[in-house]
Chain A
Amino acid sequence: MYNKISLFVLTALVLVVVGCSETQKVYDNTPLQGSSVKFYVAGMGCPKCANNITLVLDKVDGVDGPKIDMSTGLVTIDFVGDSRPSESDLAIAVKESGFTYKGIKE
């Protein structure tokens, strides 16, 4: 039994070390301008997966009804009210949805 637990803990520790080696890109913290923004997301393997982005972005202040184009990875959001998210807010929301943020469409 103790051997089993040791193996379990050892495997978990190795994976924690491997996982923690990831580095994060830093994005601009200033609020975005305009009435909408388009940005790219990668890794949306299936429609239900992609809908996680809608649910997470809907919780971001100033964001209304994200539209997702899975053929290009382009996500369009309209802004509502006075509050505007920053690019950093969008990148964090995409990461918290489980995907990779690829930047604003120029």
Chain B
Amino acid sequence: MKSKFLLILFLSMTPFLSAVAQQATDTLAPTMPGKGNLVVRPIFNYYKLKPSEQNLFSGTVLESAVHFDYGLTGDTSIMFHISEKRQNEDQETRVNGFTDLKVTFKWRFYQDDFGPVDTFRLGFLAGLELPTGGSEFTSNTTVPFFGLSAMYVEGRHGVTSSAVFNATDGDLDNPVLAGEKDANHIAFNAAYLYRIKPEAYGQELVAAWYIGAEINGDWESDDDIEMLLAPILLYEAPSWAFEVTYGIPIYEDVNYRPETDYTISLGLRFLF
């Protein structure tokens, strides 16, 4: 128990330790659209789940989500997250519906730009998950959450990390993913991205290719803990981007929800 606590504490502190990029798929970064600009980010997350000790769910979840991130000032933005979920239990029981709406306020409170592309940034985020979802996918409570994010980009290397605490106070009828039970939840993520192309930027604004990996961790106050390792491929043009990740578990101690077999995420990002 003590070692688990220390592990969680260490990983929750990663924004301060690595404090480091180009934005990865699940790791929140202290970047936001410029004032009056909008980023629309559709993303599809596919989860293959297998039974754990106390939860015998075996099946898949497909989450189709859209984030709308609007720049309020150079340092702040407001983000809306809407998603629709399709939960299939061994191809027999199928339920689908909208999940609770998430409203997030992001604020970058520290920024040190030390080169043309080089930067170190720290951000704070806070928000509410509102009970607007369909009957199968709502917690029926308003869930406050807050967290910290950090980013470090130097040349072709970029690292981001984030930790978000969700004060969960209600559960879904059939909780299968982290954060859906009546247990507080910390999502901790860290990512590294390497720019493979272009080797060096030039006088024109051109697209870039990145590869990297992300660690996605979830700890819940009923002691369920899980960490996934997800390689990332990211293509980023000046006004849009494409991302794909494949996540596999590297540490699982999950009893009250199903274990993750693997996850696949496909996403697009558009800047207006």
Residues on B with beta carbons closer than 8 Å to the beta carbon of A19: 75, 107, 109-110, 124
B-contacting residues, A60-106, CB 8 Å = 67-73, 95-100
State whether B146 touches A12 (Cβ < 8 A): yes
Q: Does A25 contact B (CB under 8 A)?
A: no
B258 to chain A, nearest CB (A): 27
Picked from A43, A55, A96, the residue with its CB within 8 Å of the CB of B119 is A43
A7 to chain B, nearest CB (A): 8
State whether A56 touches B158 (Cβ < 8 A): no
State whether B126 touches A51 (Cβ < 8 A): no
Picked from A5, A15, A53, A71, the residue with its CB within 8 Å of the CB of B109 is A15
Contact with A along B197-224 (1 / 0, CB 8 A): 0001111111110000000000000000
Q: Name B's interface SS.
A: loop
A-contacting residues, B149-176, CB 8 Å = 151, 153, 158, 167, 169
Contact with A along B5-44 (1 / 0, CB 8 A): 0000000000000000111000000011111110000000
Residues on B with beta carbons closer than 8 Å to the beta carbon of A48: 236-241, 269, 271
Q: Which residue of B lies closest to A70 (CB)?
A: B201
Contact with B along A29-68 (1 / 0, CB 8 A): 0000000000001111111111111111001000000011
Q: Which residue of B lies closest to A57 (CB)?
A: B34
State whether A51 touches B111 (Cβ < 8 A): no
Q: Which residue of B lies closest to A97 (CB)?
A: B34
Q: Does A11 contact B (CB under 8 A)?
A: yes
B158 to chain A, nearest CB (A): 7
State whether A52 touches B271 (Cβ < 8 A): yes
State whether B239 touches A51 (Cβ < 8 A): yes
Interchain CA distance A12-B73 in the complex, whole Å: 18
Residues on B with beta carbons closer than 8 Å to the beta carbon of A46: 22-23, 117, 153, 158, 208, 236
B40 to chain A, nearest CB (A): 12
Q: Count residues of A near B (Cβ-Cβ below 8 Å).
A: 39
Interchain CA distance A18-B108 in the complex, whole Å: 11
A–B Cβ pairs within 8 angstroms, 17 of them: A8-B126, A12-B126, A42-B118, A44-B117, A45-B117, A46-B236, A47-B236, A55-B34, A56-B34, A56-B37, A68-B205, A70-B202, A70-B205, A71-B203, A96-B73, A96-B74, A98-B33
The 6 closest A-B pairs by CB, nearest first: A43-B113, A73-B116, A70-B201, A19-B109, A52-B34, A42-B113
Q: Which B residues fall within an 8 A CB radius of A?
A: 21-23, 31-37, 71, 73-75, 107-111, 113-119, 124, 126, 144, 146, 151, 153, 158, 167, 169, 184, 200-208, 236-241, 269, 271-272
